[in-house]
Amino acid sequence: MPFINFIFTPFNRKILLILFLYHILVAFVFHWAYPFTIYTPDTPNYFLAADAKDFCGYRPYGYSAFINFCMLLYKSIYVIVFFQSFLYFVAIALFIFTIEYISPFKNKKLFYLFTILLSLSGQVFLLNNSLLSDSIFISLSLIWISSLLHLFNSKKNNYYLIALNLIICFSLAKIRYAGLIYPVIGLLAGLFIYRKQLLNLFVYVIGFLLIVLIVYQQGVSQNKTKYGIDVFSAFGGWAKLNNASVVIPEAKDDIREKEMYLLNALFKRYPDSIYSTKNVLTSQLMWGKLYPEKKYLAFIYSKNKVHGYVPSYVYCGKLYGEYANYLIKTHITSFITKFYLPNLFGAISPQDESSGNVHIKVDENIRKVCDTDFDFFAPRCDIYGAFISVFDKIKYATLAILFIFSLTYYVAKKYFKLVTSNRNILFLFISFFIILNSLFLAYVHPVLLRYVIINEFLFIAVIFVFLDECYKLKANK
């Protein structure tokens, strides 16, 4: 049965309708609680780029392009929230029915519980109401994973699905540079899917390599053209130095390159407490006005070494990235033990930023792009921070532990020898995605719940496929 027909079978139509009504209800609740949407420090940058209709040095242009697309339809800030919410509904529905289509639940009670748990991600509903790229990144991630699972399951060449998979992957990388891990995962998946079909494998490999090449070259070209600085991601340099800063007290003063030497001397003047694991894992080294990264930016800006605030930011990003590479290379053991391993634990128990900044004056960059009928972002009731955030964090940590148990038991008991190939592929690919995504995110940035929330959906899939397999094996005895 084709997948589209499967979605609209009588039983699945009921599930789809209930899911749709549930999403509408939750959307109304969150709109009541946060009637003016949610603003964060990242918001003005996205709207600055949307107003310029071009890359503006801070983050990739993808989310700003999405904002402009929404404004083409109707110039209101609420259109952004509507499309973020609608895309999330489509993504979660596709993911639920993809799992059921590829690996049908023998125990329907488990399927009901699986669907309910997937629908309880309170932070995603908060992000749907936020002016951030996270919501559409999560939604497109679910759609991309669903398309990959269909490629695994496909018995014939499906070039339309391959094209869709590549387009979504490119969009993810343009929305957030952390999405560059997706082409790597897709490439490895393609090597398995098309290992015996050389032409398809060639097309697939070339497609993913082009995604990485185009995104990287565009990033470098944009910074070179606009600011005269040869760097891929300025923000990446800031983040990498924040991560590597735990080893600054150990850094020696024998750096030959003059500016790097001065930068090292400046950073070492700050108290060692600034470089504590606690501060690094909350990004304080980057954002605190009195901390060295911002201090050095102020110095560069005041000396007019690079004209303009954004060019100064990009210049510092390049320099910080080079300094961070030096720190990591020369103190790899300390970096792993003081930053990477503690941060990797965040893949199991991440920090939660809660509702962020919810009492902020509307930025003028936002008014240039879309109509707003309010002056401040202020909640009627911060329901997420007050009632949901703790539950979300506990739920995520519990699911992470259950995932580790399920995967360990599955491999140790060699269940993969007893189950169908479809279920093995689904179980092992999703587990592979979770592990590789977590390893990558722990390196590039302090792990926050919204960065790894995609793992939550995948934890649930692995756990419930495992439980249903246990039920099936028990029923067959």
- Predicted local distance difference test score (pLDDT) of residue 419: 60
Percentage of the chain with pLDDT > 70?
95
Based on its alpha-carbon atoms, the radius of gyration of the chain, rounded to whole angstroms, reads 23
Inform me whether the pLDDT recorded for 422 exceeds 80: no
Average pLDDT over residues 3-29: 92
pLDDT band, very low/low/confident/very high, at 466 (cuts 50, 70, 90): confident
Inform me whether the pLDDT recorded for 198 exceeds 80: no
- Predicted local distance difference test score (pLDDT) of residue 395: 93
- Predicted local distance difference test score (pLDDT) of residue 477: 63
Residue 257: Cβ within 10 Å count = 13
Inform me whether the pLDDT recorded for 257 exceeds 90: no
Residue 167: Cβ within 10 Å count = 14
Task: Report yes or no on whether pTM surpasses 0.85.
Answer: yes
Inform me whether the pLDDT recorded for 373 exceeds 90: no
Inform me whether the pLDDT recorded for 269 exceeds 70: yes
Candidates 296, 290, 297, 324; CA nearest to 313 is 297
| Mean of pLDDT over the chain | 86
- Residues 6 or more apart from 387 whose CB is under 8 A from it? none
Residues, the chain: 477
Inform me whether the pLDDT recorded for 51 exceeds 60: yes
Residue 372: Cβ within 10 Å count = 16
Average pLDDT over residues 23-34: 92
- Name the one residue in this structure whose structure tokens are 């139509």: 13
Vertex 312: Cα angle to 264 and 290 (nearest 5): 55
Inform me whether the pLDDT recorded for 15 exceeds 80: yes
SS3 448: strand
Average pLDDT over residues 303-323: 84
Average pLDDT over residues 410-420: 67
